[in-house]
Amino acid sequence: MASVDRKQALFVGAIDGQTIAVREEAADAMTRVRLLGVASFNPHWDAAAKERLDSLLAGQAVVLHLEPTQTRDEQGDLLAYVMREDGTPVSGQIVREGLALADRRVKFAFDAAVDTAEGQARRKHAGLWALADEKEMPRWRSAWFAEKLHQYSQELH
């Protein structure tokens, strides 16, 4: 894809709960886009997030916002914060509905919005938060949480 930052692309379909396929209006080739700020909790919730992405974005154009320093992941997928035509952030919506975790491993411009969305999902016990326990969290998430607790305890002393 040519320069896509802040450009519209047509949603083709969800690949999984964290990745979608898009294409530029005038192009035939599809591009895989990894949603910034979203991380799968487990295969069950990833499948639910995939279904939601397909229903949420079907037939729509999306706007892709790229980070200035890292635009591709290890698999070569484009990393982007995806907005619906009406301006609704897709990552925030998926996380707010409790279909995925906020991915805090990578900093990006809209990370506060996704963190807020996860807080809302947790308070409402939406989706995975109705059943999730910190013990069931992915290893990276447990390490992040432990680090946050450590920082908080250091601030208190």
Model-level pTM? 0.83
In this predicted structure, what is the pLDDT of residue 12?
A: 96
| Separation between Cα atoms, residue 26 and residue 10, nearest integer Å | 10
Per-residue pLDDT reduced to its tens digit, 87-140: 889 999 999 999 999 988 777 778 888 989 989 998 999 999 898 766 777 776
Please list, residue by residue across 8-46, b when 16 or more beta carbons sit within 10 angstroms of its beta carbon and e when fewer do.
ebbbeebbebbbbbbebeeeeebbbbbbbbbbbbeeebb
Give me the residues paired with residue 19 across strands: 34
- Compute CA distances 132 → 42, 46, 71, 128, whole Å: 11, 14, 31, 6
- Cβ contacts of 139 within 8 Å, gap of 6 or more: none
The answer to whether residues 9 and 69 touch, using CB atoms and an 8 Å cutoff, is: no
Q: How many C-beta neighbours within 10 Å does residue 2 have?
A: 7
Per-residue pLDDT reduced to its tens digit, 43-70: 899 999 999 999 999 999 999 998 877 7
Q: Which tokens go with 55?
A: 């229903």
Is the pLDDT at 77 greater than 50? The verdict is: yes
